[in-house]
Amino acid sequence: MTFIPASQPAEPASPHAWCFAFVQRELLLPDAPAAGFQPLDVSPFLAQATARHYLGRLAEVDCWAVSLPEPPPGWQPRPLRSAMQSLVPVLGALAGRAAQVLEWDRSHRFCGVCGTPTALQAGERARICPACQHTAYPRLSPAMMALVWRPGELLLARSPHYAAGMYSALAGFVEAGESLEDCVHREVAEEVAVTVQDLRYYGSQSWPFPHSLMVAFTARWVGGEIVPQPGEIEHAQWFAIDALPGIPPRFSIAGHLIRDTVAAMQAGSWG
């Protein structure tokens, strides 16, 4: 299904629409799993909404992001991460987009320069201050992810907030004035005290917690012994590619990055 983003509703409106409705940052899903998440008549949701934003069209069907004060009958709130995993990928991605748009709207109701209440800007996704004309667009926070490797092994680490037994690639936010490549070298050195080279871009993923853009690389280890960064890294070590610990599911780019790199290494097409 093809998604075409837009900030203004298309004409004519589709008979039914995808409605990504949230209550206190949790996505509403139908009480009855058999009913599934389907396009519906969104007028009752739009009428009760404390905030609503048009997202675009998915296969010619309108898509809306809606914030509600409470769940309507027949719907239950679910934490966004688990809700996204229960949906097919295209709908999970749209749920993440909806969450980011609503969070941007919530956090920019007042001008960050002069404090005046802002208003939605016609024709684009923006809030503008009527007093000083400062304009706020949806913000993205770029973060890099680096999977460090050497022949037959991957360097994986765990943070204190991970699920028990779970390890992943290294990651961190890009600082002002920094390139993605600079960020990879700095974060790897800070988090585990090793040096890398031969960076390879793998891919990216929008990560709506709350508004990150994950940019993933692989990087070849060239020197240094692992020293976990206190307070950030609970444990880190080299793992043989045929004896990995628990790793993230393919729902996250980390899950794809680790599995695809292992497959390439096992096939002998890596290095």
**Residues 238-248: tens digit of each pLDDT:** 999 999 999 99
Residue 34, pLDDT above cutoff 90? no
- Under a CB-based contact definition with an 8 Å cutoff, are residues 218 and 170 in contact? no
Distances (CA, A) of 181 to 30, 48, 145, 270: 43, 46, 10, 20
Q: What is the pLDDT of residues 10-28, one digit of tens each?
A: 889 999 999 999 999 999 9
Burial of 1 (0-12, 13-18, 19+ CB in 10 A): exposed
39: preceding bond cis by omega (within 30 degrees): no
**pLDDT band at 35; cut points 50, 70, 90:** low
Looking at residue 2, what is its pLDDT? 93
Q: Kindly report the average pLDDT of the chain as a whole number.
A: 95
Half-sphere exposure of 182 toward its Cβ, with a 13 Å CA cutoff? Answer: 7
- Could you tell me what percent of the chain has a pLDDT over 90? 92
51 Cβ contact list (under 8 Å, min separation 6): 66, 67, 102, 105, 106
Q: How far apart are CA 77 and CA 95, in angstroms?
A: 13
Q: How far apart are CA 104 and CA 139, in angstroms?
A: 7
Residue 33, pLDDT above cutoff 80? no
Residue 90, pLDDT above cutoff 60? yes
Indicate the CATH number for domain 3-106.
Answer: 3.90.79.20
Indicate the range of 84-88, 117-121, 166-170, 258-262 predicted with least confidence: 84-88
Prediction pTM value: 0.91
Q: How far apart are CA 71 and CA 86, in angstroms?
A: 19
> What length is written for the chain?
271
As assigned by CATH, the class of the 141-266 domain is alpha beta
Q: What is the pLDDT of residues 220-270, one digit of tens each?
A: 999 999 999 999 999 999 999 999 999 999 999 999 999 999 999 999 988
